[in-house]
Amino acid sequence: MHLLVDADVTPDAPSGVRVHRSRHAERRVDGLHWPWRTRVEETILDLAETGTIDDVTALLGRAFQRGKTTEVTLRALLHGRSRHRRRRLLDDVLSDVAVGAESAVELRFLRDVERAHGLPTGRRQVVTTIGGVRLRDVAYDEQQVLVELDGRLSHDGEDRVRDGVRDRRSATRAWLTVRAFWRDVAGTPCELTAELGEVLQTRGWDGAPNPCRRLGCAVGG
């Protein structure tokens, strides 16, 4: 358990309790809940002090998806935390989450696949109804290509069936669905880019992906 107290208070913490002292403790508390707790935005910034970029992205994605906070609110609070050890990371991640990258795998796809290799900019987190099914990941509208990203390490049978049904229904509207998994995006982003670039070209894209800065990038110049 984590306990936030005013800076001039020095309690004896019982076993299992970690005490955090702050000159702004009162301002960070959400007084509308009981027991009192820190506000969602303050909690997010506290948790973002530790963990990986994937942890921070997942945390922000969940908060934005559930309507718990906004980019503007978090940036304003972050501005007041001049000593936050992850200020630069949060600033970058907030921008990407704001354009629709709401999970670690989506953020990696945006940065390491799409941006790093000069692919077209896909439409993100916009609900599209195709055959009564909602598709939310990345859509390349001109080419009618959907990229479905799965960040789970496993993919059970029931989910695979549901995904297959969704793919078939989108195909009835001339949309092609490309599926990419965590190991593709995080492990072999250049190979994924090369394949996706070819798919987009067959669907009318007149450009070509560029090699990224990775040594031995699989995308040809």
Q: Measured between alpha carbons, how far is 37 from 29 in angstroms, rounded to an integer?
A: 6
135 touches 122 (CB < 8 A): no
The architecture that CATH gives domain 118-202 is 3-Layer(aba) Sandwich (3.40)
Residue pLDDT, tens place only, 98-122: 666 667 788 889 999 999 999 999 9
Cβ(108)–Cβ(85) below 8 Å: no
End-to-end CA distance of the chain: 53
Q: What pTM value is reported for the model?
A: 0.63
112 in Cβ contact with 191 (< 8 Å): no
Domain residue ranges of the chain, discontinuous segments joined by +:
2-98, 118-202
Q: Within 10 A of 48 (CB to CB), how many other CB atoms are there? A: 22
Please tell me the number of Cα atoms within 13 Å of 181 on its side-chain side: 7
Asked if residue 93 lies in contact with residue 60, where contact means CB atoms within 8 angstroms, the answer is: yes
Per the DSSP assignment, residues forming a β-bridge with 48 are none
> Could you say which DSSP state residue 114 is in?
I
**Tell me, what's the pLDDT at 154?**
46
Query: Cα(4)–Cα(18) distance, rounded to whole angstroms?
Result: 9
What integer pLDDT is reported at residue 203 of this predicted model?
A: 93
Pair 33, 49: CB distance under 8 Å: no
The whole-angstrom distance between residue 112's C-alpha and the CA centroid of its chain comes to 13
Residues 153-206: tens digit of each pLDDT: 444 445 554 555 555 455 546 788 888 888 888 888 999 999 999 999 999 999
Q: Which one, of 104, 111, 148, lies nearest residue 128 by Cα? A: 148
Q: Of 23, 63, 58, whose CA–CA distance to 43 is shortest?
A: 63
